[in-house]
Amino acid sequence: MSSAPSIHGDVAAGFGPVADAFRRNFTDHGEIGAAVAVYAGDQPLVDLWAGHRDRKREVAWERDTIVPVFSSSKGMSAFTLATAVSRGLLDYEAPVAKYWPEFAEHGKERITVRQLIDHQAGLSGLDRIVKLRELLDRDALGELLAAQKPAWRPGTRHGYHALTLGLYQSELLRRVDPAGRSLGRFFAEEIAGPVGAELFIGLPETESMDRVAQLSATKGWDIWRYEWRDLPLRIGGEVYAKRGYSYAALTNPRPGAPARAARREFLEVEWPGMNGVGNARALAEVYGAAAGRTGVLPISADVLDLLAAADTADDVPADDLVLHTKSRYHLGFRKSRGTFRFGSDKRAYGTTGLGGSFGFADPATGLGFGYSMNRLGMAILDDVRSRNLREAVVRCAA
């Protein structure tokens, strides 16, 4: 067991068990630095941070510390598309090619917006190796994405589009936004700004790197001490063998080692759904605004109802071709499924991030949840640290 660090922040009456679970993540589960937040609409119920933002445990994690949250930012991308749908710029059931004609290449003319954002399009990998700096040339990137052949018949299966989904979303949004904005700029102006959430998709030059926590890979004895139940052996085998859907989806574009993501040359590139940087408070603020229907998000009530739908309309098999687990996607978000459950009921929606970060909306209670940390866990979906916190939140809310 490790010693418990000082816990900073505030907890509303009745939510003390969340602080207890947060403390145990440090003593029992190897937390280095982390934050957790819960918002009821725009009101904070939990806003806690503790530990250190560096691997040597010398620099304290502070209230304004931010950290890469990886695919937890996929939820923010989904909210941007939900905004476009609310404004009549997009239709979830319309073909992507209606808005992006070049996308129709190689039999993709029938892929709908819903199928694309629900990881059903077969576009989880790219045939050509793409380097990080190539993501800056949006026109050339758009041509490459449009020319990609699906890896399976679209709409028949699903597989996590880990690195590619945000690129497709951004190009699609750029095509329909009257101002021609990229997804990162759209999110900053339409969602993060009005909500007041400090989460960036493309870190601005004005933001100091001193705020960004270092990431720490779990290595050596700590793997067996904290992570042995969650080792992604089948995924690791495909990546090692350099073949299979997992290898194609998780290695291109080339992001580099996850533990090295907290560097400006990576974070300044706008890579939606992959390199968002922020904190638990920002995630909880956005999800709280959605779950609590505060009116600050530019998303219509009808679309918020769609996001919170208890059941998806399609009948796609639950086996994820990339993650080799049961998964359920809905309009760009994850839904509770099988052993991975979150929120009060099936209406809850959110996204997880590599290493363990997580954010979700719980429409049943009107709560938004966010968790961010800098020790990278190995769980595919259900990191024990996040699970401890969200289960405590649900118990307190009940």
Task: Return the active site residues.
Answer: 71
Q: Could you tell me which residues come within 8 angstroms of residue 123 by beta carbon, excluding any fewer than 6 positions away?
A: 116, 145, 148, 150, 151, 161, 164, 168
Helix (H, G, I), strand (E, B) or coil at 49: strand
Give yes or no for a cis peptide into 253 (omega within 30° of 0).
yes
Please check whether residue 308 is in contact with residue 197, taking contact to mean a CB–CB distance below 8 angstroms.
no
How does strand 43-51 pair with strand 33-40? antiparallel
Please tell me the distance from the alpha carbon of residue 96 to that of residue 113, in angstroms, as a whole number.
5
**Is the Cβ–Cβ distance between 148 and 253 less than 8 Å?**
no
State how far the Cα of 72 lies from the Cα of 371, in Å rounded to an integer: 9
CA–CA distance, 373 with 103 (Å, rounded to integer):
37
Token couple for 22: 């947060």
| CA distance linking residue 15 with residue 48, whole number of Å | 12
Q: How far is CA 57 from the centre of its chain?
A: 26
Q: Residues 6 or more apart from 295 whose CB is under 8 A from it?
A: none
- Give dist(CA 281, CA 9) in Å, integer: 11
**CA-based nearest residue to 299, from 45, 70, 73, 90:** 90
What does the alpha-carbon distance between residue 254 and residue 247 come to, in Å, rounded to a whole number?
Answer: 12
281 — phi, psi (to 5°)? -60, -45
According to the 3-state scheme, what is the secondary structure of 346-369?
CCCEEEECCCCCEEEEECCCCEEE
85 half-sphere exposure, CB direction, 13 A CA radius: 26
DSSP 8-state secondary structure symbol assigned to residue 260? G
DSSP result, 103-120? GGGGGTTT-BHHHHHTT-
